Structure formats: structure tokens, C-alpha cells
């Protein structure tokens, strides 16, 4: 019989993921009040999202490489303390430049937390339950996108954007207390077992997981960033919030299914995820003016992407072994590069060929992802004399 999962610490990790995502995305819904309060343009206020991403992108690998010798729970507490301080500063500062500094610090805390989250969750449970534990820890991500960001936006627009960030700071402080009281201590890896970055990258399977992350997250962010112009041919642009809610609910369903099956069927679920995303892209290409087809495509997209982070991080835990935290920091960096790349590539496509170029680009990226999974299965079969699992 399987051991019982440590629900309270896993729930705490899930809430930490929730705080991270809401902290990152909340300014997008509060740009106008933030701009008015800080006396800057809306475009300048929008840089609060970019600076967060830059902090996370630049800090994940260096911080994890530098701090490998510190016990993992202490590092998680340090990351949450970073959120507590950065969100409090964002709520209190009156100068635009200081707000950007606070956002960079929040991004750095996010880079460290994402590098630790999956490995910490997996280490709490027996090997046969690692995927389920990671899925529980990651459940805060779709919850944040579906409910946390809209709720934070509503609160911020009604009673003030600063109170939204103050609430996030308070929640981070509470999570620090819960984590300290309930989560097990995890020692750092002994110095002789720590691998340099280059050796981690050449571990079997690590580069393939990073390629998967790049392709799938890039495809997702092209679509997610420019969802409004994509909905215009079907007349659904005014309903973008409802469409994104549908995506969020489908993502929640996906992460529940993923958590249930990932430990037994990781490779098949990766394949199914890519195929569902490809089906969504085909529907969007062939029936771009049909509201019903768009709705179905969005649900397939949510089912495909909701559990993707759990699948990728579980695969990385399996391949990276004792170097999992450094490998996860690489995953975080590639993920953030794909987010930035989605905006750049999507914008270029929109200006050059319009939304009609989106679906072919998605299909090309997803075909590369599918080939990467298939190649990995063939290599596993060759190495072990049976189909990869």
C-alpha cells in the first residue's frame, strides 16, 4: 500500500507556487492604477512584468549554483522571505525606479523557488510517488492563473493596487511559518557529489527535457500572449477573460489527471500532451471563425498545458539524480527564455503575416517536441533493451 502523502507541506509548496505566479502576473491587470499612482505611462508600468522576468531569468542558475551547500528548507524560507520583502516594498514605495528594483528582487526569489520546488517535493515521498508530489506542489500554478490573478486584479482595482501586493507579502510570511513548522529538513548534497553546470547539462536526458520545455512553452506563450487578436476572426475578442477562464479550468483538470497517472505513465502522458496541443493548433488554423471550434481548441490547449510543468519537472527529477536542483534552475531559465521568446516571436508573426501564421508556428514547434520525445524513447529502448518508460 502506498504511503500517505505529506499533505500540509505539499499544500504549502503549492501556495508558494501560487504566490509566485500571482506576483509575476498581477501588474498586467493593474497597469492603469499603478501608472496613475506612480505618475508614469502605462507602457512604463508594464515594465514591472519584464523586470520580474529578467530577475528570474538571470538569477536562477547562478543562485542555485552558489547556494548548493545550504539545506533546502532554509533556501525555500530564504526565497519566501524574498517575496515577503519584495511585495511589501512594491506596496510601499512611491518612486517608480524603486518599484522596479523590488520587482527584480521578486523575480530573483522566484528563480530560486522554482529551482527548488520540484526536487523538494519529490524528496518528501517514496520514489513511486514523486510525480504525484510534484503535481500537488505545482497545483498552485493553474489556480493562480485561473483565480488568483483575476481576484487580485479585482481587489486592486476596487480598493487599491498596493493592498494586493501587501496581501501577497502577508501570505508569503504565513507560508514561511507553515513551511518551518511542517516541512522536513533536507540537507544539501555533499560537496564531492555536486556537479558543475556543464556536467549537469550533459547528463542523459537533461538536454532533451530542456528542448521540450523550450518548444512547448514557446508555443504556449505565442498563443497566450496574443490570445485577443487570435480571437478576433471568431468575434470572441470581447470574451477573452471568459476564454482564459475556460483555459484555466481545463488546466486544473489536466493537473489532477497528471498527478494521478504521472508516476506510471510519464512518457505516454508527454506524448498525449503534445498531441492534444497539436490538435488544438489544427482546430485554430482550420476553423478560426467558429466560436464552437475555438472553445474546443482552448479546452484541448488547457488539457495539454495544465500538467506540462509537472511532466517536465518529473522528467527532470528522473534524469538529473542528485543534481536535480541545478538542473531545475536550468529548466527555470529556459522556461523564462521561452516566455520572452513567445512575446518576441508572436509579435513578429503578428506584424508580418498576421494571426494566420500562429498555428503553423505552433505546429512546427510541437513537431520538434514530439520528435524529441520519440528520440528519447528510442534511446531508452536501445540502452535498456526495452521501450523507454
Query: pTM for the full model?
Result: 0.81
312's grid cell = 517536465
Helices (H), ranges, 262-323: 266-286, 291-305, 308-320
The pLDDT of residue 176: 96
Q: Pseudo-torsion of CA 188, 194, 198, 199, nearest 10°?
A: -120
> Under CATH, which number does the domain 197-384 receive?
1.20.1250.20
Return all residues near 293 (Cβ < 8 A) that are at least 6 apart: 234, 283, 284, 286, 287
| Extents of the domains making up the chain | 7-188, 197-384
**pLDDT tens digits for range 23-34:** 988 887 788 889
| Span between the terminal Cα atoms of the chain, in Å | 22
The pLDDT of residue 214: 95
Report residues of the chain scoring pLDDT below 50: 1, 192, 381-389
280's grid cell = 488544438
**pLDDT tens digits for range 334-369:** 988 888 788 788 888 888 888 888 889 999 999 999
Give the torsion sign (CA, 210, 215, 219, 221): positive
Q: How far apart are CA 52 and CA 346, in angstroms?
A: 20
The pLDDT of residue 299: 95
**Entry field: residues in the chain:** 389
Return all residues near 206 (Cβ < 8 A) that are at least 6 apart: 200, 316, 319, 320, 327, 330
What HEC string does 157-219 produce?
Answer: HHHCHHHHHHHHHHHHHHHHHHHHHHCCCCCCCCHHHCCCHHHHHCCCCHHHHHHHHHHHHHH
Q: How far apart are CA 39 and CA 54, in angstroms?
A: 23
Domain 7-188 has CATH 3.40.50.970: no
Q: Tell me, yes or no, if the two domains 7-188 and 197-384 fold the same way.
A: yes
Which stretch of DSSP H or E encloses residue 108?
helix 96-123
Burial of 385 (0-12, 13-18, 19+ CB in 10 A): exposed
Amino acid at each position: 500500500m502506498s504511503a500517505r502523502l505529506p499533505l500540509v507541506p505539499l499544500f504549502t509548496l503549492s501556495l508558494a507556487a501560487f504566490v509566485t505566479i500571482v506576483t509575476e502576473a498581477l501588474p498586467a491587470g493593474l497597469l492603469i492604477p499603478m501608472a496613475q499612482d506612480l505618475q508614469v505611462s502605462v507602457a512604463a508600468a508594464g515594465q514591472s512584468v519584464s523586470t520580474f522576468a529578467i530577475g528570474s531569468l538571470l538569477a536562477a542558475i547562478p543562485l542555485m549554483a552558489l547556494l548548493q551547500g545550504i539545506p533546502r528548507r532554509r533556501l525555500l524560507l530564504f526565497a519566501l522571505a524574498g517575496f515577503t520583502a519584495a511585495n511589501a516594498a512594491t506596496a510601499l514605495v512611491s518612486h517608480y525606479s524603486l518599484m522596479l528594483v523590488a520587482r527584480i528582487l521578486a523575480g530573483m526569489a522566484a528563480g530560486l523557488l522554482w529551482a527548488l520546488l520540484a526536487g523538494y517535493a519529490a524528496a518528501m515521498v517514496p520514489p513511486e510517488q514523486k510525480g504525484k508530489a510534484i503535481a500537488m506542489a505545482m497545483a498552485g500554478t493553474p489556480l493562480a492563473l485561473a483565480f488568483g490573478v483575476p481576484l487580485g486584479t479585482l481587489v486592486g482595482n476596487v480598493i487599491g493596487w498596493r493592498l494586493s501586493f501587501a496581501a501577497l507579502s502577508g501570505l508569503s510570511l504565513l507560508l514561511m511559518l507553515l513551511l518551518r513548522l511542517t516541512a522536513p529538513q533536507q540537507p544539501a548534497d555533499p560537496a564531492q557529489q555536486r556537479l558543475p553546470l556543464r556536467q549537469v547539462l550533459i547528463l542523459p536526458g537533461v538536454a532533451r527535457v530542456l528542448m521540450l520545455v523550450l518548444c512547448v512553452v514557446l508555443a504556449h506563450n505565442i498563443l497566450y500572449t496574443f490570445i485577443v487578436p487570435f480571437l478576433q476572426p471568431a468575434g470572441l475578442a470581447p470574451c477573452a477573460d471568459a476564454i482564459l477562464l475556460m483555459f484555466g479550468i481545463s488546466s486544473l483538470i489536466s493537473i489532477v489527471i497528471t498527478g494521478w497517472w504521472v508516476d506510471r505513465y510519464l512518457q505516454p502522458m508527454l506524448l498525449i500532451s503534445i498531441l492534444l496541443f497539436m490538435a488544438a493548433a489544427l482546430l485554430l488554423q482550420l476553423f478560426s471563425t467558429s466560436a464552437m471550434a475555438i472553445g474546443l481548441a482552448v479546452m484541448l490547449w488547457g488539457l495539454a498545458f495544465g500538467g506540462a510543468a509537472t511532466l517536465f519537472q518529473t522528467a527532470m527529477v528522473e534524469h538529473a539524480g542528485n543534481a536535480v536542483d541545478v538542473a531545475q534552475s536550468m529548466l527555470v531559465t529556459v522556461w523564462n527564455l521561452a516566455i520572452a521568446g513567445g512575446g518576441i516571436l508572436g509579435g513578429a508573426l503578428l506584424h508580418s503575416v498576421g494571426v494566420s501564421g500562429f498555428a503553423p508556428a505552433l505546429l512546427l514547434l510541437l513537431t520538434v517536441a514530439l520528435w524529441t520525445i520519440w528520440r528519447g524513447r528510442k534511446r531508452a529502448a536501445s540502452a535498456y533493451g526495452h521501450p523507454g518508460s
